[in-house]
Structures are given as structure tokens and as C-alpha cells.
């Protein structure tokens, strides 16, 4: 049989799934023609699919050398290098393929995704946009390009792409949720009720309708949140067949505690955790930071670098490399501070590199997987009757789960109302939550409050002109002068931002996704927070904070009660003054702003987790009682 005939036969065997026979014939081809590009390509692909990166790389390198102008071999070599964790090498190979064939759509798509993982967002966007110039209806490019546009806060363009994606493929994975979430970022509530209902129905029908974080803005049902996370995790971060930790019990003098996060920088998670990192007991814990995000050169980043025994920038490592690094370091406990938020990499933990794996703080819900052992919470955010809706075992801290940094000193100078753009007189209702947390039912309440409190204003923080215009339009539709909505600008220093809260009278919480860090900020500045506690973690955080502040009377259980309480505070100055005085007096005596106490409570939880692992499964129930 001639070489061409053998090659055709091998390709047929490969297409039929007879891999072993195909490999044998491809090797026969190479015995006759050592530089046969087609055989080298196929053998590399077979090895890659079998998980043998070393052999796949050897074949693809030989193939590139044999056929330097064959773009698919450069593309395959890049895919092999990427699978092996060599992102820079992979990108060079992808670029080599594009130099031969600039319109190679598959390379543009995959290299765009790689560039995004390298935080080279503009270059990634450029590649996705080029695909759409070649093929305006390319489903993968529409989704990826839309997502990249959200990174640049170009929401209107992103929404247009998501709408086109849904027109082409109404069942495209997560497309409906992407559209809903970005519309929420613009406060565009067109079809809000219908879209929310579709997403809830989709999740309950086990469809990839909405990513779990976005779903929290549509649903207030803890069981649905769990289902959304389980659906998302199956595709995004399934449990890896390879477990790096296989039951070893380490015997370290100190517990090796690693925090895994892309947000060890100027970020709400960074602000909340900085004080905890600094207060960890270094006689009992060896602390390790594994940073997956950008180094923003901020003073907060500098604080955290100093706080840890080791601070590792792992941006350029593959997920498997990060996992292997933690296994080699014999980390006892890893705490994922990001969950399913931006730039996180849950798949690191899917390799099970660490005996104890913990979900904490950054993501308000279950991860929906069996390889994360615990979620740290309190009895308000996860009441005992909700534990069934969490794949993790729930570990309760005695007060609130949310840390605060009491080393922050609010600026002494309070900016004037004029400097804040506020009227000189009148009640100031404040809500500095993100745009996407503002739901139409809550906004209806806010507008009724403005109607019932003459001269009052609503002080908001919005990221863009379109969202502001939409909110003003919604106010006008409800008979409220749009000028009564005042939008705060951003200030560089958190100390100055917190000082602004002194000019507000009542903080109005959002629902079903509460203010979290922002609610803590308001209370730190002495501002009463009125919340409606809901039925899932994100809608119960402000209630947790208020209980830890000794102010449970500010927690309501319905929007009717929420409106009545906010109205009462606005119309009764003496009552409002007494509430503010109590908040000021409770700040020093209650647990919310006791960073040291929370750190000790968190450490006690870590020690209990560690002891359970050391004792083994047989002692699990007994040890759990100590937690």
C-alpha cells in the first residue's frame, strides 16, 4: 500500500474512532515518510485528546518543522502548548498560523480567548470583532465579543450582540442570562418580568439559561440558586479525573493556609479582607496568597503583599500548574475568595490539590460542586433550614460572616452638600449599590418614598450616562421629577468616599441582591441601612450586618414593611437621630467592626476544618460539632 493510500486508510480509521489502529497506520506512514505533515498532525491531535501533552508536542513540533506553511499545524501546536500551560508559546503559535492565514476563524476565536485570560482585553476584542467581519452570524464570536464589550463597559454594543445571538440561536448557552444581566447594568428594565421568568424557568428545566452570578439578580430562591450553580459548574469546572491530593495527612508545625483570588488589589474583597490578612496568627498559620488578577500597584495591594508569609503572582500559570504548586507546597487549607465572579478559576480546585477546600466571601452562594468542602457563613445568610441548598458543608461564624477593616479611618472633613451635588435641605435617601442590583419593584418603592417625603432626593452611584438616563426616565414615568435623582461621582480614596455618607439620612438597600460591602460602608459611616431580608444568600447579607451591629429593627421581611420603615425614619427626625446615635454607640461595642474578633472566629473555623481532616472521615460528625 502506498503512502497516500495508507494515509487515507489511517484517516478513515481515525474518523471511525478506531484510534489504536489509526495510530499504528499513521506510524507506518512516518516510517516511509518521516516528515509527513498529515500523519504528524493526526498523531499530535490523537495524543492531545488522550491527555499526553508531551507526545502531542513532539509530533506537532515535527509537523511545524516539516510543513512551516501549513497553518493547521501551527494552530494545533498552539493548542498543545496551551494545554501544557505555556500560554506565551501557544500565542506565538496561534500568531504564526494567522500570519499564514489571517482569516483562520478557529485560531482567531481560540487566541482571543487566550488573550482574554492574559488580561490583554483589547487584543482579544479585536480578534472576536474580526471574526464577525468575516462571519457576522458566528455564534461563538457573538458571545465572546459581547462578553468582552461588557469588560469595557460598552453595554449597549454588548446587548445588541446578545440579542443577535439569541435571534440566530435562541438556545445558545447562557445568552439569555447575558442579555438580562447587561440590561440590568444599564437599568434597562424592558421585559424585566418576562426575562426573569424565562431565566427561572430555564434553570428549573436544567438549561444553561443563566450563569449563576447573574441569576442572583433575577431570583430570590436559594434552591434555584443552587441549581443554577450546579448547571454552570458541570460545564465550567467539572471535577477533574486527576486528584492531586490523594489522602495524605500533612504534619506541619503551622497550618498552611492559602487564599486564592483575582481580587488581591483595589477591590471590595481586598478592602474587606486586608485587615484579616494582617491579623492572622503567624504562630499558628503560615499564610500564602495566590493572586490570579492584575497587580494594580495600589496601596491596598502593597498592604496585602506585606501581610502574607508568601505572596505568589500566579496569573501566568495554567490552572493545573497552580493546583500542582499548591500540592507541592503541601497547603493544608485553600480558601477561594472569588467563586464564580470575574477572572476566577474554579477549575484549579477541580484538581483537588488541597485536603480542605473552602468557599468564602466573594461569591454569595454555593459553588454547586462536591470538591469544595465548606462554605463559611453565618446563621442569617444561611439559616439552618437552607443548608440543603448548599453542596458544601456550612461552617457558621458566631456573628457575621462578612469581615470589615476597622483600621480604615474615615476622613475628618465631610464634603458639603453643595460639593456632593445635593440640595441644602431635605431628606437624602442613599443607595450606592451597583446598577445591576436595582430592580424595578425596589425602584417603585423608592419613587413612592420620594413622593411621600417632600423635598427629598435619591442619591445614587451609577457607572454611566445611559444607566442614569434610564433611571431618570423611569422616575419620570412614575411621576417623579428626574432632577430628584442625584448621582455621585467616584473619588480616589475610600476614606473620602466614606465621609460622603454623613450627608445622607437613610441608606435604602437593594433586593433581591443586597448591598454587601456598600452596606458595611454605610454603617461604618453611621448611616442607617433599611433592608428587606429575602430567601437566598445575596438577599440576606445586609440583615446579617445589621444583626451584628445590634440594629435588628432595621431588618424587614417584605417590601411593604421596608417602605413603611424607611418612610417613618424620613418623617420622624427624632427617631432617625436616635437610630443614628445607636449606630454610633454600637460601632465600638458590637461585632461588625471588630476585625480581630472575626479573624479569631475564622481561624477557629479553619482549625476545626483541619482537625476533621486530620482525624479522618470516621470522626467527621464528632469534629463537626466543635464547629
Instruction: Evaluate whether 1-102 and 255-396 have a shared fold.
Output: no
- What is the CATH number that goes with domain 1-102? 1.25.40.10
pLDDT band at 593 (very low <50, low <70, confident <90, very high): very high
| Secondary structure (3-state) at 12 | helix
Find residue 396's DSSP bridge partners.
Answer: 377
Global confidence as pTM: 0.93
Q: How far lies 611's CA from each of 203, 279, 326, 606, in Å?
A: 37, 22, 20, 9
Give the contacts of 14 (CB within 8 A, at least 6 positions apart): 22, 42, 46
SS (H, E, C) 550-606: CCHHHEECCHHHHHHHHHHHHHCHHHHHHHHHHHHHHHHHCHHHCHHHHHHHHHHHH
Give the pairing type, strands 428-431 and 393-396: unpaired
182-227 residue pLDDT tens: 999 999 999 999 999 999 999 999 999 999 999 999 999 999 999 9
487 strand-pairing partners: 460
Question: What does the block give as the cell for 211?
Answer: 450563569
Query: Looking at residue 617, what is its pLDDT?
Result: 52
How far is 622 from 627, CA to CA, in rounded Å?
A: 10
Parse the chain into domains and list their residue ranges: 1-102, 255-396, 417-593
Give 316's pLDDT tier (boundaries 50, 70, 90).
confident
Q: In what order do the strands lie in the sheet with 485-487?
A: 485-487, 457-460, 428-431, 506-508, 529-532, 555-556
- Looking at residue 435, the DSSP 8-state letter turns out to be G
Give 401-410 pLDDT, tens digit per residue.
Answer: 999 999 999 9
Domain 255-396, second-level architecture: 3-Layer(aba) Sandwich (3.40)
Tell me how far CA of residue 573 lies from CA of 73, 302, 414, 529, 566, in angstroms: 74, 43, 21, 16, 12
Contacts of 343 (CB under 8 A, 6+ apart): 119, 262, 292, 293
pLDDT in tens, 466-489: 999 999 999 999 999 999 999 999
Q: In terms of C-beta density within 10 A (0-12 exposed, 13-18 middle, 19 or more buried), how is residue 206 classed?
A: exposed
Cα–Cα distance, 83 to 79 (Å, whole number)? 6
- DSSP code of 405? -
> What is the grid cell recorded at 480?
417623579
Burial of 154-182, coded b for 16+ CB within 10 Å and e otherwise, reads bbeebbebbebbbeeeeebbbbbbbbbbb
Tallying the residues shown for the chain, one arrives at 627
Residues 6+ apart with CB under 8 A from 152: 121, 125
Q: Cell triple for residue 17?
A: 474512532
417-593, CATH topology level: Rossmann fold (3.40.50)
| pLDDT interval class at 627 (50, 70, 90) | very low
What are 90-126's pLDDT values in tens digits? Answer: 999 999 999 999 999 999 999 999 999 888 999 999 9
Residue 3 is predicted with a pLDDT of 83
8 Å CB contact between 583 and 524:
no
Q: Is the pLDDT of residue 619 over 60?
A: no
Q: Where are the alpha helices (DSSP H) in 318-394?
A: 319-328, 347-350
- If DSSP states are collapsed to H, E and C, what string results for 519-550? HHHHHHCCCCEEEECCCCHHHCHHHHHHHHCC
621: pLDDT strictly greater than 60: no
pLDDT over 70 for what percent of the chain? 98
Report d(CA 351, CA 322) in Å as an integer.
10
Amino acid at each position: 500500500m502506498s503512502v497516500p493510500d495508507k494515509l487515507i486508510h489511517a484517516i478513515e480509521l481515525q474518523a471511525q474512532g478506531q484510534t489504536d489502529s489509526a495510530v499504528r497506520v499513521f506510524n507506518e506512514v512516518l516510517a516511509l515518510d518521516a516528515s509527513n505533515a498529515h500523519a504528524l498532525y493526526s498523531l499530535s491531535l490523537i495524543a492531545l485528546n488522550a491527555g499526553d501533552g508531551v507526545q502531542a508536542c513532539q509530533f506537532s513540533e515535527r509537523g511545524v518543522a516539516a510543513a512551516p506553511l501549513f497553518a493547521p499545524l501551527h494552530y494545533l501546536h498552539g493548542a498543545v502548548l496551551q494545554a501544557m500551560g505555556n500560554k506565551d508559546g501557544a500565542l506565538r503559535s496561534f500568531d504564526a498560523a494567522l500570519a499564514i492565514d489571517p482569516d483562520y476563524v478557529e485560531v482567531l476565536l481560540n487566541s482571543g480567548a487566550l488573550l482574554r485570560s492574559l488580561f490583554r482585553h483589547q487584543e482579544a476584542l479585536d480578534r472576536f470583532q474580526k471574526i464577525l467581519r468575516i462571519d457576522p452570524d458566528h455564534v461563538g464570536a457573538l458571545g465572546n465579543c459581547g462578553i468582552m464589550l461588557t469588560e469595557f463597559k460598552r453595554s449597549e454594543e454588548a446587548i445588541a450582540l446578545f440579542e443577535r445571538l439569541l435571534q440566530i440561536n435562541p438556545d445558545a448557552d447562557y445568552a439569555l442570562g447575558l442579555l438580562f444581566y447587561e440590561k440590568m447594568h444599564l437599568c434597562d428594565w424592558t421585559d424585566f418580568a418576562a426575562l426573569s421568568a424565562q431565566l427561572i424557568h430555564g434553570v428549573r428545566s436544567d438549561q444553561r439559561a443563566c450563569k449563576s452570578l447573574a441569576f442572583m439578580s433575577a431570583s430570590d430562591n436559594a434552591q434555584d440558586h443552587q441549581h443554577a450553580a450546579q448547571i454552570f459548574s458541570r460545564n465550567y469546572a467539572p471535577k477533574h479525573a486527576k486528584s492531586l491530593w490523594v489522602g495524605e495527612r500533612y504534619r506541619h508545625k503551622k497550618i498552611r493556609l492559602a487564599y486564592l483570588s483575582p481580587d488581591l488589589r483595589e477591590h471590595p474583597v481586598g478592602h474587606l479582607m486586608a485587615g484579616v490578612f494582617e491579623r492572622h496568627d503567624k504562630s499558628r498559620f503560615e499564610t500564602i496568597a495566590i493572586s490570579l488578577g492584575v497587580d494594580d500597584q495600589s496601596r491596598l495591594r502593597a498592604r496585602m503583599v506585606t501581610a502574607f508569609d508568601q505572596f505568589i503572582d500566579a496569573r501566568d500559570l495554567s490552572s493545573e500548574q497552580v493546583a500542582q504548586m499548591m500540592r507541592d507546597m503541601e497547603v493544608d487549607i485553600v480558601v477561594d475568595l472569588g467563586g464564580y465572579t470575574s477572572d476566577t478559576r474554579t477549575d484549579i480546585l477541580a484538581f483537588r490539590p488541597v485536603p480542605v477546600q473552602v468557599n468564602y466571601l466573594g461569591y454569595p452562594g454555593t459553588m454547586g460542586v462536591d470538591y469544595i468542602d465548606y462554605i463559611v457563613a453565618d446563621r442569617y445568610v444561611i439559616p439552618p433550614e437552607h443548608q440543603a441548598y448548599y453542596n458544601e458543608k456550612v461552617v457558621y461564624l458566631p456573628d457575621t460572616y462578612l469581615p470589615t477593616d476597622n483600621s480604615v479611618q474615615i476622613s475628618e472633613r465631610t464634603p458639603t452638600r453643595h460639593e456632593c451635588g445635593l440640595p441644602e435641605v431635605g431628606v437624602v435617601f442613599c443607595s450606592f449599590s451597583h446598577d445591576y442590583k436595582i430592580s424595578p419593584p425596589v425602584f417603585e418603592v423608592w419613587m413612592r418614598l420620594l413622593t411621600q417625603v417632600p423635598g427629598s432626593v435619591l442619591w445614587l452611584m451609577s457607572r454611566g450616562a445611559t444607566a442614569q438616563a434610564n433611571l431618570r426616565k423611569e422616575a419620570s414615568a412614575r411621576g417623579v421629577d428626574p432632577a430628584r435623582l442625584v448621582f455621585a461621582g467616584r473619588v480616589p480614596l475610600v476614606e473620602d468616599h466614606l465621609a460622603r455618607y454623613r450627608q445622607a439620612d437613610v441608606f435604602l438597600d437593594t433586593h433581591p441582591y443586597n448591598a454587601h460591602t456598600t452596606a458595611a460602608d454605610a454603617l461604618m459611616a453611621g448611616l442607617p441601612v433599611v433592608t428587606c431580608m429575602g430567601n437566598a444568600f445575596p438577599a440576606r447579607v445586609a440583615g446579617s450586618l445589621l444583626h451584628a451591629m445590634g440594629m435588628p429593627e432595621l431588618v424587614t421581611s417584605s417590601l411593604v414593611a421596608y417602605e413603611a420603615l424607611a418612610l417613618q425614619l424620613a418623617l420622624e427626625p427624632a427617631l432617625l437621630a436616635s437610630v443614628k446615635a445607636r449606630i454610633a454607640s454600637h460601632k465600638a461595642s458590637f461585632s461588625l467592626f471588630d476585625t480581630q474578633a472575626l479573624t479569631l472566629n475564622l481561624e477557629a473555623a479553619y482549625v476545626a476544618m483541619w482537625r476533621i481532616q486530620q482525624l479522618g472521615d470516621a470522626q467527621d460528625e464528632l469534629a463537626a460539632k466543635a464547629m
